[in-house]
Structure 1
Amino acid sequence: MADLTEHPLGSQELIHGDFLHAFRDQVRLPDGSTSYREYLRHPGAVMIIPLLEGEDGALQLVLERQYRYPIRQAIIEFPAGKLDEGEAPLVCAQRELLEETGYRAREWARAGLLHPTVSYSTEFIEIWFARGLSLGQRKLDEGEFLEVFTATPQQLHDWCREGRITDGKTLIGALWVQNTLNGSWPLDWRPVAGDPGP
């Protein structure tokens, strides 16, 4: 296989905001020529796929509706959030699930990893499933507004097909839901190893 590595020659910080940290690097390309790459550094994030079993045994998925300013619309998403400095992904998943939805989970399973914007960001998102949910009080961040609701797996897939769901990570989550529920992609469920707090 060809070596496609681009080697950094220098880096310039473009912006260091509360959230965005942007750089412009000079790189040596595989053919020896040079070019520039602009990108964002991101600490990483998690997405949670919460499985809620109803009283009748029917499976529901916990979802959110949140306004996303850059695209000027409210979109449907699975719960998700950014890693705090030094925070383990499972701890972040537990914290975000509780803060955004009010749910705690008895069991967790790591599904996989995705890179949502490889052309301009270092961001990665770990995908976690949660089950054995119990509802408590949610603790939204200041300035955070979102609606929590449930849907069946079939509704989720219909919304993806119809274009009602356009969020990339949630589309990937729907793929995981489909393949997990049909037995193609089994999960390694484990009892919760920690607690994000009261």
Structure 2
Amino acid sequence: MVQKYGPWTIQERDFKYHNSFINIREDKVLQPDGQPGTYSTVTLKPAVAILPIDSEHRVYLAQQFRYALGQETIEVVSGSLEDNEPPFEAAQREIQEELGIQADEWSKLGVFDLDTSIIHCPVHLFLAKQLTFQEAHQEGTETIKAVRIPFETAVQMVMNSEITHGPSCVLILKARNVLTNSRGISLT
């Protein structure tokens, strides 16, 4: 299998590991300079990240133990898309499952790439407003506690590195830009 891939040439592809969430592969390549080499990539299921905000400019975040970090984190609601699930439907499902929230107004704030050099995992970013609340239906791997805080407190938590989850940081800062620039609204 020889395949041109931008300025690279893939000579051979070896899938090292695969499960329902992650795929790791190593390609034998000719680099752009013509030298032989290898390039490894990690592909994760596409995901969504959602920031619910209420009429009092308070946001609902998820506090949970994150296995990879070995500690509790605070972040926006997020999760993977199911097979062939549209991002908007996944966003609606995730805020209901994790925090029991439904929203009547949605804004898509773009896509975030975790790490463009070795990871392929687009994360679709959403702002959710006009909220109603029900019982959450968390998965067996989740022990999520809802955290309701003023929006500007969440922004400050990003700036102080108290929120470090990449999609959360980008979504909170994008939401701040959108909310402060639309109709001249001040959140402070």
Same fold (TM over 0.5): yes
Match of 1:134 among 91, 107, 132: 132
Match of 1:103 among 90, 96, 101: 101
Shift of 1:4: 6.4
Distance in 1, Cα, partners of 2:16 & 2:183: 41
CA contact (8 A) 1:23 1:39 kept: yes
Match of 2:24 in 1: 22
Match of 2:67 in 1: 69
Residue ranges of structure 2 left out of the alignment (5+ in a row): none
More strand by share: 2
Provide the aligned C-alpha RMSD in A: 2.0
Distance in 2, Cα, partners of 1:5 & 1:67: 41
**Aligned residues with identical type, % of pairs:** 24
CA deviation string 1:15-39 (max 9, x = no partner)? 1234322111112222222221111
Secondary structure, aligned partner of 2:169: helix
Query: Aligned AA for 2:106?
Result: W
Residue ranges of structure 1 left out of the alignment (5+ in a row): 187-198
TM-score, reference length from structure 1: 0.84
TM-score, reference length from structure 2: 0.89
Shift of 1:6: 2.4
Distance in 1, Cα, partners of 2:70 & 2:45: 25
CA contact (8 A) 1:153 1:177 kept: no
In the TM superposition, 1:1-198 aligns within 5 A as: 5-53=7-55, 58-183=56-181
CA contact (8 A) 1:176 1:185 kept: no
Distance in 1, Cα, partners of 2:181 & 2:153: 19
Shift of 1:185: 11
Query: Aligned AA for 2:87?
Result: P
Aligned pair in 2 of structure 1 residues 172, 11: CA closer, same or farther (>3 Å)? same
